[in-house]
């Protein structure tokens, strides 16, 4: 019997009603039975400052431990000014600190994004993939999940409902992520 895998979701938007958080929530219904999902809330992680990393702030230590417990990550990013948000970059910076204690080392990560606009977060995803690739994190190339017009896809209960084509692509991307995590 194979062991269960753990997927940790990270949203690039800290907004409570974020469509990117809702996009992460959608993954729970698309994951295989042998994968457990957990959301990483890092709203209390401070702005990175090397002077503050010894000792690590408790919120950072908790966030790092949660990410380290994951077999794979799923990062949902909005697009702010043509790139991914600064809070997400800040989170990534803390995850790689202090020097020699990289919580992202050896991870695989999926990248998805939702926006109320029509860009589908393409620029943000490309920049995020570049940063993750620089750190040696393996990211499946396809399919890419870029949800446009996301506010129109949220129902009266606040749930994001993907069109069938997008849901199938999302499921396929998650299967590829699980496959990559299983062969490490």
CATH of residue 96's domain is 3.40.50.360
Summarised one tens digit per residue, pLDDT across range 78-100 is 999 999 999 999 999 999 999 88
What pLDDT, on the 0 to 100 scale, is given for residue 29? 94
What pLDDT, on the 0 to 100 scale, is given for residue 3? 67
DSSP letters along the chain, please? -PPPEEEEEEES---TT-HHHHHHHHGGGTS-TTEEEEE---TTPPPP-GGG-SSPPHHHHHHHHHHHT-SEEEEE---BTTB--HHHHHHHHHHT-STT--TTTT-EEEEEEE-SSSSTTHHHHHHHHHHHHHTT-B---S--EEE-SGGGGB-TTS-B---HHHHHHHHHHHHHHHHHHHT-
Number of structural domains (the chain) is 1
20 is in which domain, residue-wise?
A: 5-182
Q: What is the mean pLDDT of residues 161-183?
A: 94
Summarised one tens digit per residue, pLDDT across range 132-152 is 999 999 999 989 999 999 999
């Amino acid at each position: 019997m194979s062991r269960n895998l753990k997927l940790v979701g990270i949203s690039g938007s800290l907004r409570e009603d974020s469509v990117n958080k809702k996009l992460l929530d959608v993954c729970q219904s698309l994951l295989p039975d042998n994968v457990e999902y957990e959301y990483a809330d890092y709203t209390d992680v401070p702005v990175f400052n090397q002077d503050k990393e010894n000792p690590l702030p408790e919120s950072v230590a908790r966030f790092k431990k949660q990410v380290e417990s994951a077999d794979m990550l799923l990062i949902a990013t909005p697009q702010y000014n043509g790139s991914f948000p600064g809070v997400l970059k800040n989170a990534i910076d803390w995850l790689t600190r202090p020097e020699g204690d990289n919580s992202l080392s050896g991870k695989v990560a999926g990248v998805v994004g939702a926006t109320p606009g029509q860009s589908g977060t393409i620029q943000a995803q490309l920049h995020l993939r570049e940063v993750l690739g620089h750190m040696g994190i393996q990211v499946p190339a396809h399919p890419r999940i870029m949800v446009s017009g996301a506010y129109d896809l949220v129902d009266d209960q606040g749930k994001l409902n993907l069109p069938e084509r997008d849901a199938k692509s999302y499921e396929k991307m998650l299967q590829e992520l699980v496959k990559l995590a299983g062969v490490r």
